[in-house]
């Protein structure tokens, strides 16, 4: 039996769509929730992907059903939010681009 890994995404910009596409192709992976400061973006993705949404990332990382968090916010927020994710006991995937 394959374990189901529940994903959450913090940040609902363009990069999030790449992560969602990847999650949808992983056997045993499920997008459980998305979070964005922009409630309209979060709601639109949640409706499209049939998952939950919030505009408070701390609510997302506080969920007991989230195993892995993809952090797709702007790079200036990665350290603060990433530490919150790790302190919540979640696995963390951070989008980083090199120049």
* Annotated domain spans of the chain: 12-63+70-94
CATH number belonging to the domain at 12-63+70-94, selected among 3.40.50.10320, 3.40.718.10, 3.40.50.720, 1.10.3290.10: 3.40.50.720
- Whole-number Å distance between alpha carbons of 21 and 38: 21
Computed on alpha carbons and rounded to an integer, the radius of gyration of the chain in Å comes to 12
Can you list the positions of beta strands (E) in 38-99?
Answer: 52-54, 68-71, 91-94
Strand order in the sheet with 52-54: 52-54, 29-35, 5-10, 68-71, 91-94
- Average the pLDDT over 38-51 and give the result: 97
Q: Give 45-73 pLDDT, tens digit per residue.
A: 999 999 999 999 999 999 999 999 999 99
* CA atoms within 13 Å, Cβ hemisphere of 41: 17
Examine the pLDDT at 99 and tell me if it is beyond 70. no
């Amino acid at each position: 039996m394959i374990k189901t890994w529940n994903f959450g995404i913090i940040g609902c910009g363009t990069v999030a769509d790449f992560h969602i596409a990847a999650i949808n192709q992983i056997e045993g992976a499920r997008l459980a929730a998305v979070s964005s400061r922009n409630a309209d973006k979060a709601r639109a993705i949640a409706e499209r992907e049939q998952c939950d949404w919030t505009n408070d990332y701390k609510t997302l990382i506080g969920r007991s059903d989230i195993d892995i968090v993809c952090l797709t916010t702007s790079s200036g927020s990665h350290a603060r939010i990433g530490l919150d994710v790790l302190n919540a006991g979640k696995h963390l995937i951070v989008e980083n681009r090199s120049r």
